Chains A and B, each alone.
Chain A
Amino acid sequence: MRVLYVFALLALLGQGTGEEGARLLASKSLLNRYAVEGRDLTLQYNIYNVGTSAALEVELSDDSFPPEDFGIVSGMLNVKWDRIAPASNVSHTVVLRPLKAGYFNFTSASVSYLAQEGGHVVVGYTSAPGQGGILAQREFDRRFSPHYVNHSSFQTIGMVIVDFSQRPLTKLPVKSLDTTSFKGFSLFVLFSAL
Chain B
Amino acid sequence: MFNFGSKILVLFLVTFPCGQMSFGQVSAEESAEDIAPHATVDEEEEDELLVEEDQVPGSESEDDFDEDAAVGDVTSHPDADTTIIFVTGEEFPANEIAKFLVGFTNKGSQDFTVHSLEASFRYPQDFQFYIQNFTALPLSTVVQPQQQASFEYSFIPAQSMAGRPFGLVILLNYQDSEGNGFQMAIYNQTVTIVELEEGLDGETMFMYIFLTGLVVLAIFGMYQVLDSRMRKRLPVKVETGTGGKNDVDISWIPQETLNIMSKASASPKASPRKRTKRAAGVDQ
Contact = CB atoms under 8 A, between A and B. Distances in A.
Given A27-B101, A50-B103, A6 B36 contact: yes
Given A6-B36, A27-B152, A48-B101, A14 B85 contact: no
A108 B149 contact: yes
Contact of A29 (B32, B36, B152): B152
A23 B103 contact: yes
Interface stretch (A124-132, A140-148, A168-176): A124-132
A180 interface: no
A25 interface: yes
Contact of A13 (B32, B58, B141): B58
A7 B33 contact: no
Contacts of A122: 146-148
A14 B149 contact: no
A133 to B, nearest CB: 18
A3 B62 contact: no
Contacts of A10: 36-37, 57-58
Q: Which 3 A-B pairs have the closest CB atoms?
A: A124-B148, A18-B62, A127-B152
Interface string B5-48: 00000000000000000000000010011001100010000000
Given A7-B41, A26-B150, A27-B152, A14 B64 contact: yes
Which of the four size classes fits the interface of chain A? Answer: 20 to 34
Given A6-B33, A7-B41, A123 B147 contact: yes
Contacts of B57: 10, 14
Given A3-B33, A19-B81, A23-B83, A125 B147 contact: yes
Interface secondary structure of A, over-half rule: mixed
B59 interface: yes
B149 A124 contact: yes
B151 interface: yes
Interface string A10-44: 11011111110001111101000000000000000
Question: Max chain B CB contacts within 10 Å: which of A6, A18, A19, A24?
Answer: A18
A58 to B, nearest CB: 13
A38 B148 CA distance: 34
B87 interface: yes
Interface of B: 29, 32-33, 36-37, 41, 57-59, 62-64, 66, 81, 83, 85, 87, 101-103, 105, 141, 143, 146-152
Contacts of B64: 11, 14-15
Given A3-B33, A23-B103, A25-B101, A126 B83 contact: no
A3 B148 contact: no
Given A17-B58, A123-B147, A124-B148, A50 B36 contact: no
5 contacts: A7-B36, A15-B64, A23-B83, A46-B87, A108-B150
Nearest to B138: A130
A125 B105 CA distance: 10
A61 B33 CA distance: 51
A2 interface: yes
B49 to A, nearest CB: 18
Contact of B148 (A7, A123, A128): A123
Nearest to B102: A25
Given A19-B62, A48-B87, A27 B150 contact: yes
A3 B32 contact: yes
A50 B148 contact: no
Given A14-B64, A125-B149, A48 B33 contact: no
A108 to B, nearest CB: 7
Contacts of B83: 23, 25, 50
Given A25-B83, A26-B101, A27-B150, 12 more contacts: A3-B33, A14-B57, A14-B58, A14-B66, A17-B62, A19-B105, A23-B103, A24-B148, A27-B87, A124-B103, A124-B148, A128-B141
